[in-house]
Amino acid sequence: MSSFAFVALGLILIRYFFELWLDGVNAAHVRKHSAEVPESFRETMDAVTYKKSVQYTLAKARFGTISDSYSTAALCALLFSGLLASLFAQVVERTGQSAWGLAITLWAVILLMSLLSLPFSWWSQFRLEEQFGFNNSTQRTWWSDQVKGVALSFAIGVPLLALILWLVRAGGDYWWLWAWGVVVVFQLLMSVLAPIFILPLFNKFTPLPDGSLKERLKKLAERTGFINAGIQVMDGSKRSKHSNAFFTGLGKGRRIALFDTLVEQMSEQELEAVLAHEIGHYKLRHVPKMITWSFVTTLAGFWGLSLLAGQSWFTGAFGFSSEAGIVPAFLLFSLLAGTVTFWLSPLSSLWSRKFEYEADAFAADAVNSSEPMITALRKLNRENLSNLTPHPWYSGFHYDHPALLERESALKDLSPGDRAA
């Protein structure tokens, strides 16, 4: 193994063992508070539900440790045994060296690697989620989702990759800047097209029926100056009992989507508060800020890739021949980037949490009370069996939303003046 291969292996293992430690301290922290419902949550959960949430948290932790151990071992085996380079060479022989051929090669190799984790996805859905009463999906629905996902990744991903690889050859020294521009346009285009053409392939969206709830939410949108293309209910219960709410689209084409499970679980006042929170993200310009940051990090990623592309010490460290060109650098970069960016996740989580606090405050002001948001958060955490006592280090790396107690405390501390501000 080359020096760089040893460095890469060391970075992968350091991340793995650190995550193993995080899982361990978090599980110990949860067990420490498992004997009885902590006083802060006695208004939120009964003893039976709290015990179930603890069991669910620990079960997910055990499953996550097994899954992460497997994926880390598989990644190391593929990278450092030469299997990945051999697989890549065999696929290239069949697809050719054109931009389209190499794009298909990248897609095929990544697909084959993702298939290694498919049994864990199946087990998570039909064993873990089933055990705790969350799974509503059938085998037919689940497998249909997998097939649709593969088909879409080919239909959308291969042309995009082919265009980027063509730019590598035609764009000169600044190909990475052109490629970044293509990705930015693609992401913006997908924000508009995905809600219309892709999301309906997986879920059914129906307009929110006329009634008091629709009128309440409509008045909220008018009161907050939020222009949208309508409120829809998504059949999330088709696959899971978990609940959520989100926006799709951009500009005036924004649509509000509520999981049917969320509509069933919450009162109209609580749903109004949840929607006000989501509107807060838009009115406070959190979404464009996050999109801009995404574009900045993507640009940094392409620049970093341009420095590594064509470097024989980089691709050669994992068994790729110099004749393979710069395409293997794309594959290796996608596999190894997470090992580095993982250590930056607390910073992005901190930023995201700041936005959540601000959106909560906006919601409290929009409905003129903190209480509906507090009760809505309690229900969300109870119905989803969320971990109410995460270890601070674990939540720092893995939670982009504050824990329930943190959000509830912040909401209770708000004064009318704070909410209006």
Ordered mean pLDDT values, 10 residues apiece, the chain (421 residues): 89 97 96 87 86 96 95 94 91 90 93 92 96 95 96 96 93 92 94 88 91 91 82 91 80 79 92 93 90 93 89 88 80 92 93 95 94 92 92 93 91 67 43
Contact 34, 99 (CB under 8 A): no
Amino acid type, 71: S
Look at residue 2 in the predicted model and tell me its pLDDT.
83
Residue type, 197: F
Q: Where are the domains positioned within the chain?
A: 203-265
Assigned architecture for domain 203-265: 2-Layer Sandwich (3.30)
Residue 136 · residue 239 · CB < 8 Å: yes
β-bridge mates for residue 258, sequence order:
233, 245
Q: Is the alpha carbon torsion for 150, 151, 152, 157 positive or negative?
A: positive
Of residues 226, 225, 223, 265, the one with CA closest to residue 245: 265
**pLDDT given for residue 416 in this prediction:** 57
pLDDT at residue 226, as a whole number: 83
Rg (CA), the chain: 24
Q: What local confidence, expressed as pLDDT, does residue 252 receive?
A: 66
